[in-house]
Amino acid sequence: MPHLVFFVVVGAAMVRLVSLNIPLCWEIVTVSSVLAVVYAAGLALWSTMGVRVRYFWVAALLLLWTVLVALTPPFLTVAYVWCAVPLAWAVLRALGRRGATVAVAVITVVLVGQLTESAGRFDPEIALIPVAAVWGTVALYRALEREQRRAGVLEERMRLARDLHDTLAQELSGSVMLLQAAERSWDEPDVARTRVRVVTDRLSTGLAETRRIIGDLTPSPLEDAGLGGALRLLCDRARQDGTAARVRFRSVGGPGPDLGEQAATALFRVAQGALANVREHAHATTLLVTLHHHPDHVELDVRDDGVGFDPAEPSGPGRGVGLPSARARLREFGGDIEVDTAPGRGTRIRVTVPGRLRSGPVVPVTSTAVR
């Protein structure tokens, strides 16, 4: 909806300018056209843009919009002023919390300055209403993020409840019934021993599954082995759990930026959720997890050749990743997550997280595999 508002406002203003044919008309129309093209290009190429490209995209949008409102005559200023609302939404989506706050502050300064200049004086009624709309957009966006995060937490609890019900609870229930049967057949030692052995096997399976669930909840591999090592261990466990017949992990480039503990944990949690989905839903034969170290950001790529799903289906298996919650959490660190899938053609999850640059030369590309 914010994107539609942007194009409607820009298009209506351009039509009015052309019909009036006033001085600077074609200069304004040209800048408006470039602004619309840059905005549309960012939306079309969103899934392929890295963190640095998104910063450049936001900078280009703000520069073009500032030039546009500066060129526009006073009687048309209000039209382009309201572009600030969809621009603020785009900024919030593209940048992390700190970068988005700075960008929205720039939008506010431009708004107040241009409206004051157009009116010849500072008029609170004229200047503050658009500013309130912009910051109201920020508040709405943050509220939606919090709601998505809460929904993701509830979804994760439901996933854990399903795991416990489908594994541990079922195993314990079956074991109790077998032990009761063994007690009733205690006068038949061979039958009783057979049932006790079955219970022992089932409890061993339940213990292994319980350890897997506990492992999913414990980020200790990050502390011991770092992000790359933790992902390698996660893939090794995925192979042992039968997540896919072939599981490979690759670490490409280096050393890359320093993510910090919280951002690295968020990235690791996304990988855990993605592999859990592959195990439960994908029926994949091949799973490839790649950690790309770029100079200014880290990218995690998880691909499988499973059944895929319809991303538009709200109850589809892709929802198990906790996608809204993961996206909201990653954006706290300036990152984002994209899912590319369709029924019958597998799934690709791509996560990007920026970080602080480290000093030192870039090491050659390395690749390791879990076999």
Amino acid at 280: E
Predicted local distance difference test score (pLDDT) of residue 319: 43
Its pTM stands at 0.50
- Residue segments in the chain with a per-residue pLDDT below the cut of 70: 1-3, 5-7, 9, 11-14, 17-24, 47, 50, 75-79, 119, 125, 152-153, 156, 159, 162-163, 165-168, 170, 212-225, 312-322, 356-371
Q: Is the link from the previous residue into 255 a cis peptide, with omega within 30 of 0? A: yes
Predicted local distance difference test score (pLDDT) of residue 304: 92
Pairwise CA distance, residues 106 & 84, whole Å: 10
Predicted local distance difference test score (pLDDT) of residue 269: 82
Amino acid at 309: F
Pairwise CA distance, residues 325 & 145, whole Å: 8
Domain span(s) for CATH 3.30.565.10 in the chain:
226-371
Beta bridge partners of 247: 287
23 CB-near residues (< 8 Å, 6+ apart): none
Give which of 42, 90, 37, 35 is closest to 68, Cα–Cα. Answer: 35
Backbone φ and ψ for 359, nearest 5 degrees, come out as: -85, 155
**CATH homologous superfamily of domain 226-371?**
Histidine kinase-like ATPase, C-terminal domain (3.30.565.10)
Pairwise CA distance, residues 333 & 51, whole Å: 11
335 CB-near residues (< 8 Å, 6+ apart): 51, 96, 263, 266, 267, 297, 351, 352, 353, 354
Predicted local distance difference test score (pLDDT) of residue 349: 92
The SS3 assignment for 38 reads helix
Predicted local distance difference test score (pLDDT) of residue 119: 66
Predicted local distance difference test score (pLDDT) of residue 249: 92
Predicted local distance difference test score (pLDDT) of residue 370: 40
The SS3 assignment for 356 reads strand
Pairwise CA distance, residues 6 & 27, whole Å: 19
Q: Which strands form 297-304's sheet, in the order they lie side by side?
A: 246-252, 286-293, 297-304, 347-354, 336-341
Predicted local distance difference test score (pLDDT) of residue 322: 63
Predicted local distance difference test score (pLDDT) of residue 147: 78
Give which of 167, 245, 176, 280 is closest to 213, Cα–Cα. Answer: 167
Taking a C-beta distance cutoff of 8 angstroms, is the pair 371, 247 a contact? no
Predicted local distance difference test score (pLDDT) of residue 219: 53
Taking a C-beta distance cutoff of 8 angstroms, is the pair 136, 129 a contact? no
Backbone φ and ψ for 22, nearest 5 degrees, come out as: -90, 170
